[in-house]
Amino acid sequence: LAKTTQPISMDSYEGQEVNITCSHNNIATNDYITWYQQFPSQGPRFIIQGYKTKVTNEVASLFIPADRKSSTLSLPRVSLSDTAVYYCLLARGFQKLVFGTGTRPLVSP
Amino acid sequence: GAVVSQHPSRVICKSGTSVKIECRSLDFQATTMFWYRQFPKQSLMLMATSNEGSKATYEQGVEKDKFLINHASLTLSTLTVTSAHPEDSSFYICSARPADMLQETQYFGPGTRLLVL
């Protein structure tokens, strides 16, 4: 599966919107863009998944441009409790997921 | 939603012993499950793909005789770390994808912390 690239960390403040961008230049037609959240000593938790345009759920929004070579996870009004590692992955059928470094938002009060 | 459980959540064992970790899909069937290992401050590394009724597929560098995987039913996969050594101490996580769901989504277990003394 194609590799994804995302920043290792980013600074933010409580109450702000945090946008994490992920690059996936070699995304395939059958790949779905998927984001997971992982807290220390826990398994990753599914946040959101999309194929194109915009997807929104109760946790986050996912923006995908027409060329699908990147995507942006938007976390509205982050709090200290949102401090976790966020992974961007490409999912396709029953194939394995390849985890990159993930992004850790550094939320300050 | 789809729930994956793991047992035990934490285990401490002596060097040279074997440890079995169970991964169960609680409310769905999974023909394929995946086993990952995660060291501190690092990302998840896929160890193997567990296929129900057939042999597991191991990633390069993962010893199949040391990490035995059995996927005996559509809801259970087990990972046995044989002759465990301190360097096997890690966080082991499994995942599964529901066979009948339209979404291309895998669900992860809570993980098992293994400490080998």
Residue A97 Cα, gap to closest chain B Cα (Å) = 8
Residue-wise pLDDT tens digits, A69-79:
999 999 999 99
Q: Is B87 helix (H, G, I), strand (E, B) or coil?
A: helix
B67-90 core/surface letters (b: 16 or more CB in 10 A; e: else): bbbbbeebbbbbbebeebeeebbb
**A46 contact residues in B (CB cutoff 8 A):** 105-108
Query: Which DSSP state fits A81?
Result: G
Pull the structure tokens for residue A29. Answer: 């037609």
Is it the case that residue B68 has pLDDT exceeding 80? yes
d(CA B108, CA A107): 25
Sorting pLDDT into bands at 50, 70 and 90, what band is A106? Answer: confident
Residue-wise pLDDT tens digits, B20-60:
999 999 988 888 899 999 999 899 999 999 988 888 999 99
Write the CA distances from A50 to A25, A68, A84, B58, integer angstroms.
16, 10, 21, 29
A1 close to B (CB below 8 A):
no
Pull the structure tokens for residue A37. Answer: 């959240």
Contact across the interface for B105 and A102, Cβ inside 8 Å:
no
Nearest Cα to Cα of residue A71 among A20, A106, A108? A20
